[in-house]
């Protein structure tokens, strides 16, 4: 390396260091300005894969702090999933309720679907009233609301009435606007490419 090249490298490194120093100062100031704490309503929606997976990742994070988690699954039946098996290893810190009977195109019975969702919401409402529960995962609730199996106003009222500090994560594609408006954080999973289109079936450890 010539002296000129060495000098350029040192100059670039110094410029990078100064740029990152300024960026850190801005980030530190931004973080310091955020002082509020509250129970959050998070919504994972969109056509892409990973909505429920992200919610269960959040549950794992809560469990890492010994905080109680309740999962209520709408629509989906009592599948033997990897995430359920993993989270249940945390013992009584986790309650898992699979209340659905399968997707609506499987049951083909609206009254049956409505009844299943109403039973699931009764369980969810109990969890939402418990101050000892730090996180309530309402898996595929957006689907139940999309098909109007549950009353949106009642659902949002029950969520809003939860104890201070309790977090709620709602999953499912096609989240309706009232749910998006009520949410503190909305993440939309975008489908770019999916192996299912290439003939690859759902696989253990990836899809379930």
Q: Tens digit of pLDDT per residue, the chain (208 long)?
A: 566 666 668 878 888 888 888 888 888 887 888 678 999 999 999 999 999 999 999 999 999 999 999 999 998 666 678 899 999 999 999 999 998 765 555 556 888 889 999 999 999 999 999 999 999 999 999 999 999 999 999 999 999 999 999 999 999 999 999 999 999 999 999 999 999 888 999 888 888 7
pLDDT at 33: 80
Q: What is the CA radius of gyration of the chain?
A: 22
Cβ atoms of residues 45 and 174 within 8 Å: yes
In a domain, 206, yes or no: no
Q: Are residues 11 and 69 in the same domain?
A: no
Asked whether 204 and 61 are in contact (CB, 8 A), the reply is no
Same structural domain for residues 8 and 70?
no
Which pLDDT score is estimated for 185?
98
pLDDT at 103: 55
Is the domain of 97 the same as that of 179?
Answer: yes
Query: Would you say 97 and 70 are in contact if contact means Cβ atoms under 8 Å apart?
Result: yes
Structural domain count, the chain: 2
Going by C-alpha positions, the residue among 37, 83, 90 that lies closest to residue 62 is: 90
Rounded to 5 degrees, what are φ and ψ at 46?
105, 165
Residues 6 or more apart whose Cβ sits within 8 Å of residue 34: none
* Token reading at 131: 């101050």
Is 46 found in the same domain as 16?
A: no
Do 15 and 98 fall into the same domain? Answer: no
Is residue 8 domain-shared with residue 96, that is, in the same domain?
no
Range of the structural domain that residue 17 is part of = 1-35
């Amino acid at each position: 390396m010539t002296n000129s090249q060495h000098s350029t490298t040192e100059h670039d490194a110094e410029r990078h260091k100064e740029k990152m120093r300024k960026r850190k100062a801005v980030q530190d100031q931004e973080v310091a300005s955020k002082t509020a704490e509250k129970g959050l309503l998070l919504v994972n929606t969109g056509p892409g894969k990973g909505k429920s997976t992200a919610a269960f990742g959040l549950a794992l994070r809560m469990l890492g702090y010994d905080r109680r988690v309740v999962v209520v699954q709408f629509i989906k039946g009592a599948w033997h999933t990897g995430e359920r098996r993993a989270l249940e290893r945390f013992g009584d810190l986790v309650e898992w309720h699979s209340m659905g009977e399968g997707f609506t195109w499987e049951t083909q019975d609206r009254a049956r679907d409505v009844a299943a969702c109403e039973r699931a919401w009764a369980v969810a409402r109990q969890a939402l009233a418990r101050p000892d529960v730090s996180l309530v995962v309402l898996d595929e609730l957006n689907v139940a609301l999309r098909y109007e199996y549950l009353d949106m106003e009642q659902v949002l009222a029950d969520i809003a009435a939860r104890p201070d500090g309790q977090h709620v994560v709602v999953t499912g594609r096609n989240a309706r606007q009232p749910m998006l408006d009520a949410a503190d954080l909305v993440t939309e999973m975008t489908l770019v490419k999916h192996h299912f289109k290439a003939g690859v079936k759902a696989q253990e450890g990836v899809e379930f």
